[in-house]
Structure formats: C-alpha cells, structure tokens
Amino acid sequence: MLKLKYQKNVPLDVEITLPGSKYLANRLLILAALSETGSTLYNMPKNDDIMTSIEGLSLLGATFQWSDHTLKCSGINWHNLATDLQINSSHSGSFSRFVLPLLALSEQSIDIGGSPKMNTRPMAELFRVLEKLGAVITSKSLTSKSIDQQSSAMTLPVSVKGPITGGKVLMSGETSSQYISALLMSAAKLEGGLVITLSAEPVSKPYLEMTIDLLKAFNVQVQASLDLREFTIKGPQQYQGVEYQLESDPSSASYFLAAAAITAGHICITNFYPERSLQGEAKFAEVLVMMGCKIWQDEQGYHCQGPKMLTAVNVDMCDMPDVVQTLASVAVFANGTTTISNIATLAFKESNRIEDTATELRKLGIQIDTTADSLVIHGGQVTQSDDSLVFETYDDHRMAMSLGLLSLKLMAIKINEHNVVAKSFPNYWKFLQQLGVQLS
C-alpha cells in the first residue's frame, strides 16, 4: 500500500519532461519486426507493455538493442523460426491483438496466451476474421476446433497456424479499433492484400489514423475512405525500416495537466506538442479549457494553468477513452454535474472503467451515476478528506494513476497495489513526487 500526502504550501509551479507514447511504440515495434531493413526508434518508453512486445517479437527472431531510450530494431527472419514457439502477451491487450495477424503469416503453429486477466478479455471477432482469411485457430482451453463452433466469448490462450493469404472481410468496427489496426499492420505481407469493410462507425478513430500514418512511414500504401469504414492494402508490399522520434505520451501528459487543474497551479511539459499528435487523448487539454483552465505553448514547452474554480462539462470521450478516468478525478472537484459519454468500450478494459471508477470515487462522498456508456459525476462537494481513505486499483494502471491525483487536493490518501503503474508508466509515482507529493 502506498500513502500519498501533498506537501506544498505554495501554488504548484513545476516543469517536467515525459517519456514517449506507448501507443506509437506498440505499433512501431510490430512494423519494425515486419520490415526488410532496420529501424531506429528514439524516445522509446520502457514499461511492462513495451517489454512484453519486445520479448514476444524476439522469440520470433526480431532483434532489439537498447541505448538509453533509443531502440535499434531488425525484422523477423521468417525462414528460421524456432519450433514449439510460445508467446506470452502478459497483461498487454494491444500486443495480444497486434501480434495475432503477424503469427498467422506463418505456416507454423504458434501458441499465444496472456495473464489470467488478459485471458478473459474479448478476442473472438479477430479470431473469426483470421479464420476467414485462412488461419487455423485452436483454443487451448476449449475442446471445439473451430472458432465458428465456439462461444463468442472465446479468448486466449490459442494456437495460431497460417498462412493467411488475403481477401475481403466484414467487421463491426464497434468493438475495438485494435482489431482493425492489428489486421492493417500485417496486411501488406499478404499475397492477395486485404480489404476491410466496417458495418458501423468505428470507435477510437484517431488510433486508426495513427496506424495508417505509421504504415505509410514504413513505405506501405494504404487506401482508406474518408469515414474510415473501408480500407484497402494491396499485397505483397515491402516494409522499409524508419528512424522515428516518438512524441511524448498524451495519456501520461493528461495526469499532469489535470494536476494543474485540480490545484489551480501551473505545469509546463517540455516535450509535448499535442497539435502534432495522432492520438485522440492529445485533445484532453481542450476539455480542461472548457472547465476553466488556460493552455498555451511556447519555446519552453506546453503549459496548463488551473482556475480558482473548475466548471463541470458534458463531453463525448469516444475518441479519447484512456483519459476518461483522469477527467473523472478532475470532475469531482468541479462545480456542477459532469457527464462523460460514449464510453461503452471502457467496460472491457483492464478493469470495468465505468463501474469501478464510480465505486472508488464515491468514497469521496459524492454522487456518481453510471449507465452502460456514461459516467455522471456530481462534483464540488467532496466530504471525505481524512487519511483513512483507501483506494483499490483493480489491477488497472490508469485507475491507480488517476486516483493518485486526488492526493493533490485531499489531506492524504492510500492506494492498494500501486505498482500496477509499471504496465505503462513505471516512474509515475516519482513524477508525482516532483509535484510535491510525499510517498510512504
């Protein structure tokens, strides 16, 4: 258990430098592994998810060499794969999904499984599409051999055997943009290429735009409709390695922008340029502006100045799902009722980020209502502020980090299983110390 107590007696005024985006990093690692030539990636984050990806791709024969926060990568040697390969995706949902189509490129059977929690997360639509493209996917826990004969709740662990050769597939688009990104990243290796048509508007469009942009950086030609409902990648194409400087992670930045908002203080992030970002979460500051914050960029960095009093907002966060919990922690201190909508996919993340977030924030004595796709927070009347408050993290890194922000306003708080932040931001608590939070 970690106890947090805010020590500053003067307004917050801090300058910080953040690690690179794990969303970019997860995709860059897959694309570098598929490339014919080497890649050099700068400002790479080092966290559990990234190390899981590197370990899994290394088992396939890709090579990686660190030098501080620079990573040199070379691609998979498909003609020299080891036998009896078993890939461990640990807690990483993104790696689990991104690597599956890559595994299906091989005619060799490869096993993949994750942590007990990862092995409960939805995967069936991606399995179904891969089988339609020619893969054989066999559950390691169910007896039926065909995905079509199994429950739609089928999950890891599975055995994957290709090769997939390409074709046309229909997907819903409403479940997870990661399924679509996963297929797009490996599609140019397919002899017949790939056409993906979505039956509904896709969730998290900025992440699909990020994937397309990165594919083009690796010299892969992609055609996408303006509404991102149809994608065409001709095959086969050769992936060419890149030199790539990763932007600071917008989701990580959200915690420190929120810190300024909560304390009526000032934060400067020295290496954050959200106007260049491909990630939806980079627009989080626009929500803070609606709540009364001032935002500006200059030669020093990206600044946020919090207001004396925060104002509640109504906001659709479909395109920035990973900062919903950050906003929720800000909203408890805002006057009025904040409604965060269009977030149904959060029920299927590391935790149920709708219900579990509400459960924890209710410990502050405020009213929070939930629906299947929304959080409604009646803020400004926090009644619980003694050091007896203990928050649970539900094995969810973003739950831990967002709840940690509460310490900036309350007398003291305690957080169970605080080390879960290692999944995406291992040094998070040290960064909070830079803000004046005492840890014990």
Report the b/e string of 136-171 with b at 16+ CB within 10 A: ebbbeeeeeeebeebeeebbbbbbbbbbbebeebeb
For the cut 70, the answer to whether the pLDDT of residue 151 exceeds it is: no
Residue 300 burial by Cβ neighbours in a 10 Å radius (0-12, 13-18, 19+): exposed
* CA angle, residues 13, 364, 355, in degrees to nearest 5: 105
Closest alpha carbon to 5 in 421, 413, 417, 338:
413
Mark whether 348 and 411 lie in a shared domain.
yes
Per-residue pLDDT band for 386 (boundaries 50, 70, 90) equals: low
- Lowest mean pLDDT, pick from 60-74, 228-242, 264-278, 330-344: 264-278
| pTM score, whole prediction | 0.88
Q: Which of 208, 233, 258 is the last residue of a domain?
A: 233
Mean pLDDT computed over 59-85: 94
Mark whether 56 and 200 lie in a shared domain.
yes
Per the domain annotation, does 238 fall within a domain?
A: no
- What total of structural domains would you count in the chain? 2
| % of the chain exceeding 90 in pLDDT | 85
Per the domain annotation, does 137 fall within a domain?
A: yes
Token pair of 52 as six digits: 């899981």
What is d(CA 195, CA 167) in angstroms, rounded to the nearest whole number?
6
What is d(CA 1, CA 414) in angstroms, rounded to the nearest whole number?
7
Strands 437-439 and 2-6: antiparallel
Residue 322 among the catalytic residues: yes
Per the domain annotation, does 176 fall within a domain?
A: yes
DSSP character for 133?
Answer: T
Strands 294-297 and 302-305: antiparallel
Longest dimension (CA), the chain: 64
Mark whether 266 and 140 lie in a shared domain.
no
pLDDT at 122: 84
The DSSP annotation for 228-253 comes to: SSEEEE-S-------EEEPPBPHHHH
Mean pLDDT computed over 105-127: 94
Mark whether 333 and 419 lie in a shared domain.
yes
For the cut 70, the answer to whether the pLDDT of residue 325 exceeds it is: yes
Per the domain annotation, does 152 fall within a domain?
A: yes
Mark whether 369 and 429 lie in a shared domain.
yes
Per the domain annotation, does 134 fall within a domain?
A: yes
Mean pLDDT computed over 342-370: 95
What is d(CA 258, CA 198) in angstroms, rounded to the nearest whole number?
35
Mark whether 277 and 208 lie in a shared domain.
no
Mark whether 297 and 367 lie in a shared domain.
yes
Mark whether 169 and 270 lie in a shared domain.
no
294-297 β-sheet, strand order = 13-16, 266-269, 302-305, 294-297
Per the domain annotation, does 240 fall within a domain?
A: no
For the cut 70, the answer to whether the pLDDT of residue 152 exceeds it is: no
Q: How does the average pLDDT of the chain come out, rounded?
A: 93
CA dihedral 29, 34, 38, 40 (to 10 degrees): -20
Mark whether 216 and 331 lie in a shared domain.
no
The full 3-state SS of 156-187, as one line of letters, equals CCEEEECCCCCEEEEECCCCCHHHHHHHHHHH
Q: Which of 202, 233, 264 is the last residue of a domain?
A: 233
Mark whether 11 and 142 lie in a shared domain.
no
Q: What is the pLDDT of residues 80-103, one digit of tens each?
A: 898 899 999 999 999 999 999 999
Q: Which CATH number fits the domain that encloses residue 183?
A: 3.65.10.10
Mark whether 224 and 259 lie in a shared domain.
no
Per-residue pLDDT band for 79 (boundaries 50, 70, 90) equals: confident
More confident residue, 301 or 276: 301
Per the domain annotation, does 241 fall within a domain?
A: no
CB count, 10 Å around CB of 369? 12
Mark whether 228 and 254 lie in a shared domain.
no
Mean pLDDT computed over 408-417: 91
pLDDT at 145: 47
pLDDT at 384: 63
Please pick, among 49, 322, 356, 396, the residue that the annotation labels catalytic: 322
For the cut 50, the answer to whether the pLDDT of residue 144 exceeds it is: no
How many CA atoms are closer than 13 Å to the CA of 367, on its beta-carbon side? Answer: 6
- Residues spanned by the domain of 188: 22-233
Per the domain annotation, does 288 fall within a domain?
A: yes
Q: Which of 233, 261, 285 is the last residue of a domain?
A: 233
